[in-house]
Structure 1
Amino acid sequence: MFIASDPWQGHDTTVLFTLVLAGVPALIGLVAYLGSRLTRQARRRYTSARTWRDVSLTAVAVGLALYLWGLLHILFLDDQEQAQECERHRPEETPALVGRRGDFIPLRLVCEASDGHDYSVVVPGYINPSLTVLLLLALVAAMTSGLLHYQQRTPTRKEN
């Protein structure tokens, strides 16, 4: 059991398991939906708005898969192994470690040194930059889809 003032707390396992248990079915649902969009019947009804919507959902699905991949890196290491990873990756000029914390956004396990510097271990370095790009793509695609859908639904005014 960790207390809030514990400098070696890492990630809260309840939150970690909840994210994994909620994320996996969400990812399966997104992939199933996107797979259904590939049928011949669905492709015939495609519009620009629907295409951008599916691009947005694809970016979300890939981002969710990457986030879950990062969570799995953390999930399979116990406290002792996390401490060993902190020691193994400690830069030469870094003095003694004084703590460890887990952040979910951005996803990282941070090792804290006595000189005030910290560094991240365990979670692959490509996860957070990739998530940023994918979420920006999802946002832009969703906004484009919404705008195109609005334009399709809004009648154009005819000038006399």
Structure 2
Amino acid sequence: MVPPQLVLASDPWQGHDVGGLFVGLFAGAAVLVGLTVYLASRLAPANFRRYTPVRVCRDVSLLAVALGSALYVWGLFHLLLTDEQDQAEECELRRPAGVARLVGLRGDFVPLRLVCETPNGHDYDVVVPGYINPSLTVLLLLALAGAVAAGLLHRGQRSSTRKKG
């Protein structure tokens, strides 16, 4: 017999691990604070005058990462502040018509969601606001585009200075 406090990996009613939520919160907050301090320092008048297209692309990319971190932390707070009972109630409230019962609950970190599982395979998300994951996708694409543009511009600057020298 398994003690009631022990959760097995095969348990279909697992949400997010609280330890994982705290690690995500602290890591996301650290990234957010570090990037905010860095980006705020870039807005100083002395730095503002020295902006180049490479630096603009780099900072736009870092701003997208900072905003993505803020959104992810916001989603983690939603999960952390709803206990298992509230999560189960939310699953029941949003249960589709024609589904007699739920067969499980699953927590995913990427994408960030809490999934209520149905026997017919038509699972649905609860608790995490619906705008979090699409916004994170757009911000990730913006961060990648900014980083690639900064890299290409920097490479172009290096090759043009070599030709001059």
* TM score, norm. by length of structure 2: 0.92
Specify the SS of the correspondent of 1:111: strand
- Of 146-155 and 131-140, more deviation after overlay is shown by 146-155
Match of 1:102 among 103, 107, 110: 107
Residues 63-83 of structure 1: per-residue CA shift (max 9 Å, x gap): 110111111000001111111
Cα drift, residue 156 of structure 1? 5.4
**1:55-66 alignment, distance < 5 Å:** 55-66=60-71
Judge conservation of contact 1:48–1:148 (CA < 8 Å) in 2. yes
Which structure has the highest strand share of the two? 1
Task: Give the fraction of aligned pairs with identical amino acids, expressed as a percent.
Answer: 61
Judge conservation of contact 1:52–1:145 (CA < 8 Å) in 2. yes
Match of 1:140 among 135, 145, 154: 145
- Of 63-72 and 90-99, more deviation after overlay is shown by 90-99
Cα drift, residue 116 of structure 1? 2.0
Distance 2:135 2:100 in 1: 31
Residues 6-50 of structure 1: per-residue CA shift (max 9 Å, x gap): 000111111111010111121011111111111100111111100
**1:1-160 alignment, distance < 5 Å:** 1-154=6-159, 155=161, 157=163
Cα drift, residue 95 of structure 1? 2.4
Q: Gapped runs of 5+ residues in structure 1? A: none
Q: Which amino acid aligns with 1:91?
A: P
Q: Which amino acid aligns with 2:12?
A: P
Distance 2:16 2:57 in 1: 36
Judge conservation of contact 1:95–1:115 (CA < 8 Å) in 2. no
Specify the SS of the correspondent of 2:14: strand
The number of residue pairs the alignment matches comes to 158
Q: Which runs of 4+ in 1 moved over 6 A?
A: none
Q: Which amino acid aligns with 1:98?
A: V
Residues 112-158 of structure 1: per-residue CA shift (max 9 Å, x gap): 01222210000011110110011001000100001111111223547
Specify the SS of the correspondent of 2:10: coil
Distance 2:156 2:99 in 1: 57
